[in-house]
């Protein structure tokens, strides 16, 4: 391009070189052609976008340099083409093409300006994605059934969802941009607390909205790039929580009732001793009397309690089971009778309903009652006499309609004589005593018991063992079974586990060694008893039992290396019972 004036005024003249400098400084690419379609302007931005040097482009036809160029078409039609998107290689551009006319309106060329919009498109895509994400987040928050509100760092509400407006009873327009205190009738704003401390809060009670809805609020800080930018809160309707709590209690009660579905048909045994015990239990079930089940550990006292409850007029109500030995002495009273709010350190807010209250119109089964502390015995006596309870920390009595079944493996008469159990409580619970015989006194029930237990264990272990052969059954029928039916069930369980999956009959080879010799299990004959008596060798039954018990405890402690918890488990008694027996034998 020659160096001659292109624009002339009285005080301002631009040379072609100056014009070229201006054109090269623009961000937009500029390409101009003359009437023959020859390029006469090609600036630096055009070089960058088209990847062609200006020296190569100048003097050549635009159609040769720019693929799909429409400059010649614009010159022919005289119609400008504005904001046209075009693809040049890998680059997308927005182009404007206009004809150039002289003073007389004749077309003397055309000029095209275009810019790379790849970056703009990427930015637009990011913005579109951000908008989509924002819309998605708002949709999620709005569709949530949780009551959500968001406050910015300037202590102004910037977002609430429809669940918020439904619960609080205030429209979105009334709260957006306002202080978070606007919806609170009573209590402190969790948003303001979080903005002040920068820490989350949980379980804050308050009253919100025109109706003073009782709610519980949780809030957490919103941290962006290490800076506190606001607070988000989730609010829960207390009435809904109370409803869900009551439903949970109802379902737990139903589960307990489903578990307590054993009947007298589940009590296996045709021996005279077991028949007598079942007959007594049948008669007791028809009365409202308090029942005391006595028997060694593992004889089935809980099974009897279930059967009595199911056969009674209270079978529609709950059967609440309490192991008095398993609950620490300091907690037993509050567990049985409940407590008021603030009754002691760590007491649940609102207090707690006791197990007696849960058993109303039903039955409460107090297992291991002989292990109950004397302080609790006194309160239990009053409950049985007055038919009412007073929660720990309370002053108002609550009437109850509950049937009590107690059970123990201790000799309560002996405990009363030694001052370990209240005499008046013993006489109160001993209204209808039922003695459940140990397995060694009804060895004739072994065949029917093993048949019943095998069906149960097959179901639990996924096996299909049909029976024991006569030799194996004879061995089991000679054993003394100090752990009673529980020991028999555990023993058969070990047998099934050790058997091959293809075997369906238990034989002698399958039986693990029993710790007691067969001869020890055999009862003494009349002749041997008379001989022992005449020789002065036969002690009283109480002495024999004590000696056997002492030897069993010593052996268990020796095997477990002095571990009393494990020893109690091996002996089938509670840890508390073991400590009691150790103390008793130490004193003797």
Return the pLDDT at 104.
86
Kindly give the confidence (pLDDT) of every residue in the chain, 588 residues in length, as a single tens digit, with 9 standing for 90 and above.
Answer: 444 444 444 455 667 677 778 888 888 888 999 988 898 888 888 888 888 888 888 888 888 888 778 888 888 888 988 888 887 777 788 888 899 988 888 889 999 988 877 777 777 666 556 566 667 777 777 777 788 899 999 999 988 888 888 888 888 888 899 999 998 888 889 999 999 999 999 888 889 888 888 888 999 999 888 889 899 999 888 877 777 777 776 666 556 555 556 788 888 888 888 888 889 998 988 888 999 999 888 888 988 998 999 888 888 888 888 888 888 877 888 888 888 776 666 566 667 788 888 888 889 999 889 888 888 888 888 888 888 888 887 777 888 889 999 999 888 888 888 888 899 989 998 889 999 899 888 889 889 998 888 888 888 888 888 888 888 888 888 888 888 888 898 989 888 888 887 888 888 888 887 754 333 334 444 444 444 444 444 456 767 777 778 888 877 877 776 777 778 878 888 777 787 777 776 544
CB 298 within 8 Å of CB 411: no
Tokens 């623009």 sit on residue:
26
Exposed (0-12), middle (13-18) or buried (19+): which is 318, by Cβ within 10 Å? buried
Distance, in Å, from the CA atom of 91 to the CA atom of 70, rounded to the nearest integer, reads 17
Distance, in Å, from the CA atom of 219 to the CA atom of 302, rounded to the nearest integer, reads 48
CB 482 within 8 Å of CB 552: yes
**Contacts of residue 296, Cβ cutoff 8 Å, sequence gap at least 6:** 409, 438, 484
CB 405 within 8 Å of CB 308: yes
φ and ψ of 237, to 5 deg: -75, 120
**Contacts of residue 278, Cβ cutoff 8 Å, sequence gap at least 6:** 264, 267, 269
Segments of 331-457 assigned E as strands = 363-367, 388-389, 398-399, 403-408, 432-435
Domains and CATH numbers, the chain: 5-116 (3.30.450.20), 123-241 (3.30.450.20), 260-435 (3.40.50.300), 439-521 (1.10.8.60), 526-587 (1.10.10.60)
**Contacts of residue 156, Cβ cutoff 8 Å, sequence gap at least 6:** 177, 178, 179
Six-digit token pair at 231? Answer: 């607070």
Look at strands 432-435 and 363-367 and give their pairing: unpaired
Six-digit token pair at 6? Answer: 């292109």
Q: What is the DSSP string of 248-270?
A: HHHHHHHHHHHHS---GGG----
Distance, in Å, from the CA atom of 303 to the CA atom of 324, rounded to the nearest integer, reads 17
Number of helices (H), then strands (E), in the chain: 25, 22
Q: In the 8-state DSSP scheme, what is residue 514?
A: P
Tokens 């291991």 sit on residue:
368
Distance, in Å, from the CA atom of 165 to the CA atom of 187, rounded to the nearest integer, reads 19
Short-list 410, 411, 390, CA closest to 399:
390
b/e 269-289 (16+ beta carbons within 10 angstroms → b): bebebbeebbebbeebbeeee
Return the pLDDT at 293.
92
Tokens 């840890």 sit on residue:
575
φ and ψ of 144, to 5 deg: -70, 140
Distance, in Å, from the CA atom of 431 to the CA atom of 403, rounded to the nearest integer, reads 12
Short-list 39, 67, 485, CA closest to 302:
485
Give whole-number Cα distances, 9 to 164, 421, 439, in Å.
71, 125, 128
Exposed (0-12), middle (13-18) or buried (19+): which is 22, by Cβ within 10 Å? exposed
Give whole-number Cα distances, 1 to 38, 56, 110, in Å.
13, 14, 17
Six-digit token pair at 128? Answer: 């579109």
Give whole-number Cα distances, 563 to 235, 515, 552, in Å.
51, 20, 14
Six-digit token pair at 221? Answer: 């800080």
Six-digit token pair at 161? Answer: 């969802």
CB 65 within 8 Å of CB 50: yes
Tokens 């004959």 sit on residue:
525
Other CB atoms within a 10 A radius of the CB of residue 415 amount to 19
Distance, in Å, from the CA atom of 226 to the CA atom of 231, rounded to the nearest integer, reads 14
φ and ψ of 517, to 5 deg: -70, 155
| Element holding 160 (H helix, E strand) | strand 157-160
| Length of the chain in terms of residues written | 588
Q: Sheet containing 227-237: which strands, arranged edge to edge?
A: 157-160, 147-152, 227-237, 213-224, 201-208, 184-186
Return the pLDDT at 125.
67
Other CB atoms within a 10 A radius of the CB of residue 143 amount to 10
Return the pLDDT at 472.
87
């Amino acid at each position: 391009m020659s160096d001659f004036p292109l624009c002339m005024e009285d005080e301002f003249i631009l040379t072609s070189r100056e014009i070229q400098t201006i054109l090269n400084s623009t961000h937009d690419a500029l390409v101009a052609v003359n009437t023959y379609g020859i390029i006469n302007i090609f600036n630096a931005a055009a070089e960058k976008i088209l990847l062609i040097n200006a020296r190569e482009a100048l003097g050549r036809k635009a159609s040769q340099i720019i693929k799909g160029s429409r400059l010649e078409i614009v010159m022919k039609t005289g119609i400008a083409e504005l904001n046209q998107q075009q693809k040049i290689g890998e680059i997308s551009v927005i182009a404007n093409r206009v004809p150039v006319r002289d003073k007389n309106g004749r077309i003397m060329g055309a000029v095209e300006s275009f810019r790379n919009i790849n970056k703009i498109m990427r930015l637009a895509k990011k913005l579109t994605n951000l908008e989509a994400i924002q819309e998605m987040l708002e949709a999620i928050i709005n569709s949530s059934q949780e009551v959500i509100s968001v406050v910015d760092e300037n202590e102004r509400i910037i977002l609430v969802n429809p669940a918020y407006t439904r619960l609080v009873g205030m429209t979105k327009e009334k709260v957006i941009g306002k202080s978070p205190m606007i919806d609170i009738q009573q209590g402190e704003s969790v948003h303001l607390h979080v903005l002040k401390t920068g820490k989350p809060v949980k379980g804050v009670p308050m009253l919100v909205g025109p109706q003073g809805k009782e709610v519980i609020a949780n809030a957490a800080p919103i941290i962006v790039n290490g800076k506190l930018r606001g607070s988000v809160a989730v609010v829960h309707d207390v009435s809904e929580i109370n409803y869900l709590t009551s439903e949970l209690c109802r379902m737990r009660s139903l589960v307990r009732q489903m578990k307590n579905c054993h009947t007298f048909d589940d009590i296996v045994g045709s021996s005279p001793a077991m028949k007598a015990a079942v007959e007594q239990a049948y008669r007791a079930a028809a009365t409202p009397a308090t029942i005391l089940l006595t028997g060694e550990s593992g004889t089935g006292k809980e099974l009897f309690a279930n059967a009595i409850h199911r056969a009674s007029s209270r079978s529609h109500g709950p059967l609440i089971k309490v192991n008095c030995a398993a609950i620490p002495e300091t907690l037993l009273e509050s567990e049985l009778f409940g407590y008021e709010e603030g009754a002691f350190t760590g007491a649940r807010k609102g207090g707690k309903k006791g197990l007696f209250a849960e058993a109303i119109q039903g039955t409460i089964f107090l297992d291991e009652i002989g292990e109950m502390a004397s302080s609790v015995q006194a309160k239990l006596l009053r409950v049985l006499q007055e038919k009412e309870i007073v929660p720990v920390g309370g002053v108002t009595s609550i009437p109850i309609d509950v049937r009590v079944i107690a059970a123990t493996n201790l000799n309560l008469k002996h405990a009363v004589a030694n001052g370990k159990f209240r005499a008046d409580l013993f006489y109160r619970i001993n209204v209808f005593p039922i003695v459940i015989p140990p397995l060694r006194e009804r060895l004739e029930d072994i065949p029917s018991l093993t048949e019943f237990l095998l069906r149960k264990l097959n179901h639990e272990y996924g096996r299909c063992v049909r029976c024991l052969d006569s030799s194996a059954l004879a061995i089991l029928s000679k054993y003394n079974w100090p752990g009673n039916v529980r020991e028999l069930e555990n023993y058969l369980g070990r047998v099934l586990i050790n058997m091959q999956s293809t075997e369906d009959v238990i034989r002698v080879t399958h039986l693990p060694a029993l710790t007691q010799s067969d001869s020890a299990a055999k009862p003494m004959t009349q002749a041997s008893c008379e001989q022992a008596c005449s020789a002065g060798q036969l002690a009283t039954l109480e002495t024999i039992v004590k000696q056997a018990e002492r030897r069993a405890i010593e052996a268990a402690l020796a095997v477990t290396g002095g571990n009393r918890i494990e020893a109690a488990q091996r002996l089938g008694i509670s840890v508390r019972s073991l400590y009691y027996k150790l103390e008793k034998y130490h004193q003797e």
